[in-house]
Amino acid sequence: MTMSPTTKPPAESLTLTIDGKDVSCRSGQTILDVARENDIDIPTLCQLDGLTTWGGCRLCLVEIAGSSKLFASCATQCTEGMNITTQSDRLLNYRRMILEMLFSERNHICAVCVSNGHCELQSMAQKLGVTHIHLPYRYPKLTVDSSQDRFRLDHNRCILCSRCVRVCGEIEGAHTKDLKGRGIKTFVINDLDQPWADAKSCTTCGKCVHVCPVGALTERGTAVSEMAKRRAFLPYLTSMREH
Amino acid sequence: MTQSTTTTRSDPALRGGITPAKPRVATVWLDGCSGCHMSFLDLDERLFILAEKVDIVCSPVVDPKEFPPDVDLCLVEGAVSSHHDLEKAKLIRARSKVVAALGDCAVTGNVPAMRNFWEVEELFRRAYIENAEYPDTPEKRKANLPVLNVPPHERIARPLHEIIKVDLFIPGCPPPADAIFYVLTEFLAGRSPNITQVTRFGK
């Protein structure tokens, strides 16, 4: 049996404006994709090329002329004639507020973290000019799962971006990781909320560790500032599957 | 920050000179490890440049024990942890025109705030009795917590801005000497430092 050729509708060409710059794209592209193609920087945390869109961190919010709402640029497709603003005082204010809420929600102590100097939350705070946290810190008592031989899950440092959940399900195909609970009580779990070592579906591939933007998932045996993540595998694997 | 460095203070003649009084700078060490002050000392030869431009009127590295009045800029290291820290913070605010939180402990709570998961008594018991280096005897188990030389502690250690208004934040553990020098230079020039250009949390 011969495979029928893939019938994609021909991509429509669109023109739109981002930060006053006229740009063109194909229909189906997200605002974030098109902005990056045109060297317009939109900050993100949960987004990672090669994984499906999550739209959870809300850092990539942009303004679209004609609407008072803000739109997650990673999850909003471009339409003809859109007029998009990616940088404004209002957006910067919200982005800083999001980071401050992340810092105050759990226990992020950069100075003693294995990811110090390699952390996307930390560098994003610096990039967006966050000098201190206006909200009171919550200091929740959270657990650290060190049951696994090679890796460690520290809930104190997790920002719930779900990159680990997505890479485990979508790329490794194991789906060991998932999220339980809602809102501030959301946690990353292994299998049926078991200690990591008891999670039979885990292949110990370590992809979750290396896509984690912070120090929540780390290799064991690393000391302060030693946990540099290696992500070269992800575009490579994605590219192999597409071609 | 729009603080002018040429603000008229009390008559300079009273300070024994005819030259205009230099800005009065203080540094204070609350619940921190003194690392930020070490970084301050790492200004090295730039300390001489600084000494020409400001008077260090109070600091762990100079003599006065009481926090003086009419301070133009106070750099505060450390979180606010004890009753003593709390009172000191309020005094600093009342006597300083510009207060800067120096380093992650003052800015975020950082390491001193890692005790916040436990009650103060649990913490003290751990520090002064369970971990004390003498044999585990019935005497040890009955031992009392120290009452002398340990000031009463707040339930949690907090960043400085949760206690008093803070005008400048200098994150870092410790902030690099270059960052401290940059902030001081900008302050003396009457400009607002763009601090995240030179340091960050955990730097």
- All structural domains of chain B, each given as residue ranges with its CATH number in brackets, are 21-115+153-196 (3.40.50.700)
Mean pLDDT of chain A: 95
CA atoms within 13 A on the CB side of B53: 16
Q: How many helices (H) and strands (E) does chain A have?
A: 6, 10
Token pair, residue A32, equals 């974030």
A240 or A211, which is more confident: A211
Task: Let me know whether A113 and A83 are in one domain.
Answer: no
Q: State residue B139's pLDDT score.
A: 72
Q: Give yes or no: residues A81 and A113 share one domain.
A: no
B171–A139 CB contact, under 8 Å:
no
pLDDT tens string A60-107: 999 999 999 999 999 999 999 999 999 999 999 999 999 999 999 999
Is B96:B68 a contact under the CB 8 Å cutoff? no
Q: Does residue B4 carry a pLDDT above 50?
A: no
- The pLDDT value recorded for residue A223 is 95
The alpha carbon of residue A122 is apart from the nearest alpha carbon of chain B, in Å, by: 7
Residues A123 and A207 in one domain: yes
Residue A94 in domain? no
Question: What per-residue confidence (pLDDT) applies to A66?
Answer: 97
Residue B194 neighbours by CB distance under 10 Å: 12
Q: Please tell me the total count of domains within chain A.
A: 2
Q: What is the pLDDT of residue B150?
A: 87
pLDDT at B19: 60
ipTM above 0.85 for this complex: yes
pLDDT single digits (tens) A213-227: 999 999 999 999 999
Same domain, A128 and A227: yes
Residue A131 domain-assigned? yes
* Residues A48, A125 share a domain: no
Answer yes or no: do B117 and A137 touch at CB < 8 A: no
Q: What is the pLDDT of residue B90?
A: 98
Query: How many interface pairs between A and B have CB atoms less than 8 angstroms apart?
Result: 65
Convert the pLDDT of each residue in A134-166 to its tens digit.
Answer: 999 999 999 999 999 999 999 999 999 999 999
pLDDT (0 to 100) of residue B132: 79
Range of the domain at A113: 109-242
Residues A57 and A124 in one domain: no
Euclidean distance between CA atoms A55 and B127, whole angstroms: 45
The tokens for A117 are 């100097």
Tell me, yes or no, whether A57 and A114 share the same domain: no
Q: Tell me the C-alpha distance between A131 and B104, whole Å.
A: 10
pLDDT for res B16: 52
For position B111, what pLDDT does the model report?
A: 97
- The span from the CA of A46 to the CA of A40, in Å, is 18
pLDDT at residue number A7: 66
| CA B142 from centre of chain | 36
Whether A78 and A27 have beta carbons less than 8 Å apart is answered as yes
pTM of the complete model? 0.91
Q: Does A83 touch chain B (CB under 8 A)?
A: no
Instruction: Report pLDDT for A162.
Output: 98
Check residue B185 and give its pLDDT.
96
Whether residue A119 sits in one domain with residue A235: yes
Torsion of Cα atoms, B177 then B181 then B182 then B183, to 10°: 100
CATH number at residue A69: 3.10.20.740
**Is the separation of the CB atoms in B182 and B194 below 8 Å?**
no
> Do A145 and A222 belong together in one domain?
yes
Interval B107-142: pLDDT, tens? 999 999 999 999 999 999 888 888 877 767 777 667
Whether A221 and A178 map to the same domain: the answer is yes
- State yes or no: pLDDT of B181 exceeds 50: yes
| A114 and A153 within one domain | yes
The answer to whether residue A9 scores a pLDDT higher than 90 is no
Closest listed residue to residue A169, CA positions, set A194, A191, A147, A196: A191
pLDDT mean over A189-204: 98
Nearest to A124, CA basis, from A71, A35, A60: A60
Subunit contact B200:A136, Cβ cutoff 8 A: no
- Within a domain: A143: yes
Residue with tokens 């919200």: A94
Note whether A232 and A125 are same-domain residues: yes
User: CATH code at A134?
Assistant: 3.30.70.20
Q: Which residues on chain B are in Cβ contact (under 8 Å) with A99?
A: none
- Which member of B114, B159, B171 has the closest CB to residue A109? B114
